[in-house]
Amino acid sequence: MSPVFQPDLLKDKVALITGGGTGICRGIALAFAAHGCDVAITSRKIEHLEPTRDELKARGVRAVAKVADVREPAAVNEAVAAVAAELGGIDILINGAAGNFICLAENLSSNGFGTVVDIDLKGTFNVSKAALPHLKVRGGSVINISATLPYLGTMGQSHAAAAKAGVDSLTRTLACEWGPLGIRVNGIAPGPIDGTEGVKRLTSGKSRASALTQCPLGRLGTVDDIANASLYLASEAASYVNGVTLVVDGGLWLRSARILGE
């Protein structure tokens, strides 16, 4: 059997990656480009996009950057249509745009809760819906970036945990609705990924040390860990995988409950 990650694994494919200018999604974009995929990235801020777009082009693929807030369906529709026109379709969608902060529910406003739900959950819906007509044309793959937050009662994360639980539900529903159209819909739930905005925002020195102690593999994740999982799910190697959310956290969440006697 040939190795799975061939250099041309995603050759002739076009990927649209929301939040693709920075962090985990930048890593996915660069890995896809290294495997021959043309890539479009979106963000609310052009300054988050331009350096990554240039890095993508330097890998020899076509790359475009579009400013769009995933909360605004009209802006999303316009960006998706422009990407499909410029790159000749869309085969892969990564819903990576997300927002988060730590705040106990007691101190969180309705707008604060709703803002994160609007970005993470409604944003995933908005972009998926806009991309559907293009994904249908050749068949495709959607990957929703989720989180392990909803698996346990993660304090200070009522907003994000609820939003990501909704994302996982959307993954399962769309997998059933869009599977017959030749579109697989899966998710990835990353653990703490070193060097990302998420880890900067959500972990303190103490919680970082705790994650290192608790993780069965004894380390935080890397951007490449998530990029490799994305390559798998987006490629033909996962052609019978549909409706799952793949946890990529070294087994950390399994150890996150308190151990009796400790």
Residues that bind ligand COA (CB under 6 A): 98-101, 103, 108-109, 111-112, 115-116, 197-198, 201
Residue with tokens 């990927």: 15
Of 21 and 250, nearer to ligand COA (C-beta) is 21
Beta carbon of residue 107, minimum distance to ligand COA (angstroms, whole number): 7
- What's the min distance (Å) between Cβ of 254 and ligand COA? 21
Task: Find the residue with minimal CB distance to ligand COA.
Answer: 99
CB of 183 to ligand COA, least distance (A): 26
Output 44 or 53, the one with its CB closest to ligand COA.
44
Which backbone phi and psi does 95 adopt, to 5 degrees?
A: -90, 95
Phi-psi region of 233 (alpha: psi -120 to 50; beta: other; left: phi over 0): alpha
Kindly compute the dihedral angle of the four CA atoms of residues 256, 258, 259, 262, in this order, to the nearest 10 degrees: 130
9 versus 163: smaller Cβ distance to ligand COA: 163
Q: Is 223 exposed, middle or buried (0-12, 13-18, 19+ CB in 10 A)?
A: buried
- Of 112 and 243, nearer to ligand COA (C-beta) is 112
Helix axes 46-58, 23-34, angle to 10 degrees: 20
Q: How far is the CB of 44 from ligand COA (least distance, A)?
A: 7
Question: How big, in percent rounded to 5, are the helix, strand and coil portions of the chain?
Answer: 50, 15, 35
Rounded to a whole number of angstroms, the minimum distance from the CB of residue 237 to ligand COA is: 28
